[in-house]
Structure 1
Amino acid sequence: MAGIAHLSDIHFGAHDPKIVAATEAWLQARQPDLVIVSGDFTQRARLGQFRAASAYINRLRAAGHRLLVVPGNHDVPLYDVVRRFAAPLRRYKRFISSDLCPWFENDEIAVLGINTARSLTIKDGRINHEQIALMKRRFAAVSPTKTRILVTHHPLFAMPIGKGGELSEAVGRHEEAVQGACEAGVHLALAGHFHRTYAEAARKMAEKAGSALIIQAGTATSTRLRNAEPQSFNWLQVRRNDRCALQVVAWNGTSFQDGDRVAFEFDGRQWNAHKGAGA
Structure 2
Amino acid sequence: MAAIAHLSDIHFGANDPKIVAATEAWLQARQPDLVIISGDFTQRARVSQFRQAAAYVNRLRAAGHNLLVVPGNHDVPLYDVVRRFAAPLQRYKRYISNDLCPWFENDEISVLGINTARSLTIKDGRINREQIALMKGRFAAVSSSKTKILVTHHPLFSMPIGAGGELSEAVGRHDEAVKGACEAGVHIALAGHFHRTYAESARKMAEKAGSAIIIQAGTATSTRLRNAEPQSFNWLEVASHDRFSLQVIAWGGTSFLEGSKVAFTYDGGEWQSRKDL
Tell me whether the two structures share a fold, i.e. TM-score over 0.5: yes
Which SS does the other structure have where 1:210 is aligned? coil
Tell me the residue number matched to 2:212: 212
Tell me the residue number matched to 1:108: 108
| 1:26-81 residue CA offsets vs partner (Å, 9 max, x unmatched) | 00000000000000000000000000000000000000000000000000000000
Give the whole-Å Cα distance in 2 for the aligned partners of 1:269 and 1:210: 10
Give the whole-Å Cα distance in 1 for the aligned partners of 2:204 and 2:65: 34
| 1:123-174 residue CA offsets vs partner (Å, 9 max, x unmatched) | 0000000000000000000000100000000000000000010000000000
Contact 1:112 1:135 in 2 (8 A): yes
1:83 aligns with 2:115: no
* Aligned-partner residue type, residue 104 of structure 1: F
Give the whole-Å Cα distance in 2 for the aligned partners of 1:92 and 1:231: 23
| 1:219-269 residue CA offsets vs partner (Å, 9 max, x unmatched) | 000000000000000000001111010000000000001101101001112
Give the whole-Å Cα distance in 2 for the aligned partners of 1:268 and 1:83: 48
Give the whole-Å Cα distance in 2 for the aligned partners of 1:12 and 1:269: 41
The 5-angstrom pairing of residues 42-57 of structure 1 reads 42-57=42-57
Give the whole-Å Cα distance in 1 for the aligned partners of 2:235 and 2:78: 32
Give the whole-Å Cα distance in 1 for the aligned partners of 2:270 and 2:133: 24
Q: How many residue pairs align between the two structures?
A: 277
Tell me the residue number matched to 2:134: 134
Contact 1:11 1:222 in 2 (8 A): yes
Which SS does the other structure have where 2:215 is aligned? strand
Residue 206 of structure 1: how far off its partner (Å): 2.2
Percent identity over the alignment is 83
Give the whole-Å Cα distance in 2 for the aligned partners of 1:8 and 1:249: 12
TM-score norm. by structure 1 comes to 0.98
Which SS does the other structure have where 1:239 is aligned? strand
* Aligned-partner residue type, residue 252 of structure 1: G
TM-score norm. by structure 2 comes to 0.99
Contact 1:212 1:270 in 2 (8 A): no
Residue 270 of structure 1: how far off its partner (Å): 2.4
Contact 1:195 1:218 in 2 (8 A): yes
Tell me the residue number matched to 1:41: 41
Tell me the residue number matched to 1:73: 73
Which SS does the other structure have where 1:42 is aligned? coil
The 5-angstrom pairing of residues 1-279 of structure 1 reads 1-276=1-276
Residue 271 of structure 1: how far off its partner (Å): 1.4
Give the whole-Å Cα distance in 1 for the aligned partners of 2:54 and 2:206: 38
* Aligned-partner residue type, residue 53 of structure 1: A
Contact 1:238 1:245 in 2 (8 A): yes
Which SS does the other structure have where 2:260 is aligned? strand
Give the whole-Å Cα distance in 2 for the aligned partners of 1:119 and 1:102: 20
* Aligned-partner residue type, residue 183 of structure 1: E
| 1:153-206 residue CA offsets vs partner (Å, 9 max, x unmatched) | 000000000001000000000000000000000000000000000001111222
| 1:53-112 residue CA offsets vs partner (Å, 9 max, x unmatched) | 000000000000000000000000000000000000000000000000000000000000
Give the whole-Å Cα distance in 1 for the aligned partners of 2:32 and 2:276: 21
Gaps of 5+ in 2: none
* Aligned-partner residue type, residue 132 of structure 1: I
* Aligned-partner residue type, residue 189 of structure 1: A
